[in-house]
């Protein structure tokens, strides 16, 4: 597996020394029209290497989950299939949640049809004890990285609290249009009501950065994506982040899946109930097309496709998971991907 990662590094280095130099001479980015932003909680994308300092022992060939190269490669193949499902072109940007490190992103971007696009990586390690991070792949022919920053989520009253950083990326699209992207993986719902304070803190961190951006540019194009581990009507999303329904004329952030949640749809299934945990939350300026980027008529889409689902004995469906506890099922993920088409 180390050879695979090293090969990916060499391939990337060659690409940077070749393609990017040619592109700088052209001086322009390719069109983003019709291209997708995809966000996906990929359910524990670990490599098979024991990394010191993180709790990854169960995802090793001799670990309790018996995670090996064959299972890892099948996982990569499945993820590419899900990420690109129903898309004629590969996504311009892919936000990824529950990835172990930069190495798995390098392996993913050279898998299947993703290997036909010149993806670069935006990623920084987070303090999460299991080594879980957020990451971003972006098509360097159509997206220019301007800034990358990890937004730390900490709580003074819980000094040993460690969770995923929020990955913030500022980029440029065709025509000099600027877009701000946040990849989120807020603290889990384990612990019930007592865990809410952790997601509220993540919401405060994200909102503070959004306020900073909007103060500098009230018409900024902003996309917050990822697994928020809360629904559109929960305090963290609705009251602290202040993401509202698209019909709210006073909102500066709108949640594109608020109506899906009300309709009983979702990206995740817990004990037979669907709910929206994965969101596209965007600035009102982006929603209205005020700054040169607009959305397709369907705004955002949950990729609810049979191939990504498992039908249970009672006929109900849920995401087709890779694992269920210690049991290996060889599925895709316990979440569904979401897509946002730009124009």
Residue 18's Cα: distance from chain center in Å? 28
Per DSSP, 23 falls in state: H
Look at residues 217, 225, 266, 267 and name the one whose alpha carbon lies nearest to residue 243.
Answer: 225
d(CA 14, CA 122): 18
Which of 54-68, 166-180, 294-308 shows the lowest mean pLDDT across its residues? 294-308
Say if residue 31's pLDDT is above 70: yes
Give me the chain's average pLDDT, please: 91
What pLDDT was estimated at residue 26?
A: 53
What pLDDT was estimated at residue 22?
A: 38
C-alpha distances (whole Å) from 84 to each of 9, 40, 337 are: 23, 11, 10
User: For 333-340, what is the mean pLDDT?
Assistant: 98
What pLDDT was estimated at residue 191?
A: 79
Q: Is 291 helix (H, G, I), strand (E, B) or coil?
A: coil
Name, in order, each residue with C-beta under 8 angstroms of 102's C-beta and a sequence gap of 6 or more. Answer: 121, 123, 135
Q: Using a pLDDT cut of 70, give the percent of the chain over it.
A: 92
Packing angle, helices 69-83 and 102-109, rounded to 10: 60
What pLDDT was estimated at residue 244?
A: 97
* pLDDT tens-place string over residues 114-128: 999 999 999 999 999
Other C-beta atoms closer than 10 Å to the C-beta of 297 total 7
User: For 90-100, what is the mean pLDDT?
Assistant: 98
Say if residue 5's pLDDT is above 80: no
For residue 332, name the pLDDT band (cuts at 50, 70, 90).
very high
β-strands 243-244, 253-255 pairing: parallel
Q: What is the pTM of this model?
A: 0.91
d(CA 331, CA 343): 32
What pLDDT was estimated at residue 27?
A: 66
* pLDDT tens-place string over residues 142-183: 999 999 999 999 999 898 899 999 999 999 999 999 999 999
Tell me the backbone φ, ψ of residue 72, rounded to 5 degrees. Answer: -65, -45
Q: Write out the two tokens for 213.
A: 């951006």
For residue 16, name the pLDDT band (cuts at 50, 70, 90).
very low
What pLDDT was estimated at residue 129?
A: 86
Tell me the backbone φ, ψ of residue 323, rounded to 5 degrees. Answer: -130, 150
What pLDDT was estimated at residue 32?
A: 97
For residue 194, name the pLDDT band (cuts at 50, 70, 90).
confident
Beta strands (DSSP E) in the chain are 36-45, 93-99, 119-123, 133-139, 144-151, 166-173, 177-185, 221-227, 243-244, 253-255, 268-270, 273-275, 278-283, 295-302, 309-311, 317-319, 323-324, 327-328, 338-342
* Greatest distance between any 2 Cα atoms in the chain: 59
């Amino acid at each position: 597996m180390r050879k695979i990662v090293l090969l990916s590094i060499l391939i990337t280095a060659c690409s940077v020394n070749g393609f990017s130099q040619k592109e700088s001479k052209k001086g322009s980015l390719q069109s983003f029209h019709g291209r997708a932003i995809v966000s996906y909680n990929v359910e524990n994308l670990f490599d098979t290497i024991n990394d010191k300092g993180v709790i990854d022992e169960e995802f090793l060939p001799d670990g309790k989950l018996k995670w090996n190269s064959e299972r890892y490669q099948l996982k990569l193949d499945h993820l590419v299939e899900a990420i690109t499902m129903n898309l004629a072109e590969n996504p311009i940007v892919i936000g990824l949640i529950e990835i172990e490190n930069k190495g798995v992103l390098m392996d993913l971007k050279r898998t299947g049809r993703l290997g036909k696009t010149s993806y670069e990586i935006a990623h920084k390690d987070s303090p999460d004890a299991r080594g879980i991070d957020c990451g971003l792949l972006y098509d360097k022919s159509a997206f220019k990285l301007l800034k990358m920053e990890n937004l730390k989520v900490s709580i003074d009253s819980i000094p040993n609290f460690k969770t995923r950083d929020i990955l913030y990326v500022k980029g440029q699209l065709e025509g000099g249009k600027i877009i701000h992207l946040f990849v989120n993986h807020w603290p889990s719902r384990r612990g019930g009501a007592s865990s809410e304070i952790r997601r509220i803190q993540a919401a405060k961190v994200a909102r503070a950065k959004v306020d900073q951006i909007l103060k500098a540019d009230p018409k900024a194009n902003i996309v917050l994506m990822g697994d928020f581990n809360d629904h559109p009507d929960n305090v963290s999303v609705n009251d602290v982040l202040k993401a509202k329904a698209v019909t709210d004329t006073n909102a500066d952030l709108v949640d594109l899946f608020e109506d899906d949640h009300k309709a009983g749809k979702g990206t995740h299934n817990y004990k037979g109930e669907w709910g929206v945990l994965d969101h596209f939350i965007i600035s009102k300026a982006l929603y209205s097309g005020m700054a040169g980027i607009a959305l397709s008529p369907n705004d955002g889409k949950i990729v609810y496709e049979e191939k990504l689902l498992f039908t249970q004995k009672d006929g109900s469906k849920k995401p087709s998971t890779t694992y269920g506890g210690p049991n290996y099922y060889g599925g895709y993920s316990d979440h569904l991907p979401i897509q946002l088409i730009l124009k």
